[in-house]
Amino acid sequence: MFKRKNAHQLDDDSQQDNKVSKLRSALGPLSGHSLVFCSDASLRRYLDARNWNVEKAKKMIEETLKWRSTYKPHEIRWHQVAHEGETGKVSRASFHDRQGRVVLIMRPTMQNSTSAEGNIRHLVYLLENAILNLPRGQEQMSWLIDFTGWSMAANVPMKTTRDIVYILQNHYPERLGMAFLYNPPRLFQAGYKAIKFFLDPRTAQKVKFVYPKDKTSDELMKSHFDVENLPKEFGGKATLAYDHEEFSRQMYEDDVKTAKYWGLEDTEPNGFHAADVVSEPATSLASAAS
C-alpha cells in the first residue's frame, strides 16, 4: 500500500522539480550525447551535489559535458581496457546490495599496471558499465574494496589517486552509495588521511572501514549485503573467483547495449563494430545516463 506524502513533502518535491526545470532552461538547447546525458535524474544529482544551487550545478554539469566531449567515457570499449582487467583488480559483481545497487569489487593487491591513464580509463569504463546496469530508479552503486595482503608495492601514486577522486566527485556526483574498505592495514589508514583531504565531506561519510572478526563490522556488512551472496573475502559465504574470459564476454555484450543507448552503433571507435558481438536481451536502460 502506498502512503500519501504530507504537504511538506509535496512542497519539497515541487521545489526540486522547479529547480530541475530552471537548470534545464539555464543549460539551453541540448542535442546528441548532451541531451541523452542530461536526463532529469542527472540534473537532480548535480543539483543535490551543489545543495540545489542552480548556478553552481549549471557550472558543474557544463564542466562534465566538456570533459565527456573530450574524454568520451561512453565510447570506451572493453577491448581497449581489457588488459588492465586481466587480474580482476576491478570488476562488477554478480550480485547487488540490499538496496539493489550494482556492486563494484576492487582488489588493490591485484594491481597489474603502472600506467596511470590505463588505470583511470579502466575504472571509468567500469563506472559507465555499472551505471548502465543500475536497476530502474536506482542512481547509486556500492564499492567493496579488499585490502587483504595490501602493501606499498600495490599503492597507486598520489597524483593518480587525486585524478581519480577529481573525476569521481566532479563528473559522477552522487553515484557512490557506500564504499566498504575491508581489512585495511594501518599503513593504508595513515595514507587515507591524505586522500580524505581531497574528498567532499559527504563522500567521506560514505567510506566505511570494516574488519574481519569484528562484531560492528559484521553487523554493518550484514545490514547492506546478503551473506549468502557476499564473498568470503568480505565476511560472507560465497566464493569470489574472477574469470577474465567470462567477464570479458559480459563486457562485450554490455558494449552493445552501451552503443545502442548512446546511438553509436555505426560510429564505434578503433574499427570495433557492436554488431559483431551477439548480445542478450538488454536490461532496463532507464537510469543509464550518468
CATH code for the domain of 57? 1.10.8
Structural domain boundaries, residue 32: 15-71
For residues 34-68, one letter each, b for 16 or more C-beta atoms within 10 angstroms of the residue's C-beta and e for the rest, the string is bebbbbebbbbbbbbbbebebeebbebbeebbeeb
pLDDT given for residue 185 in this prediction: 86
CA dist 79 and 62 (Å) reads 29
pLDDT given for residue 27 in this prediction: 97
pLDDT given for residue 281 in this prediction: 35
171 and 120 within one domain: yes
244 and 103 within one domain: yes
Phi then psi for residue 101, to 5 deg, are: -85, 145
Closest to 288 (Cα-Cα) out of 126, 132, 173: 132
Domain boundary among 24, 41, 71: 71
% the chain with pLDDT above 90? 73
130 and 20 within one domain: no
pLDDT given for residue 288 in this prediction: 43
52 and 186 within one domain: no
246 and 104 within one domain: yes
Per-10-residue mean pLDDT of the chain, 290 residues long, equals: 40 86 97 96 96 97 98 98 97 96 95 93 98 95 92 75 93 97 86 84 93 95 96 93 96 96 67 41 40
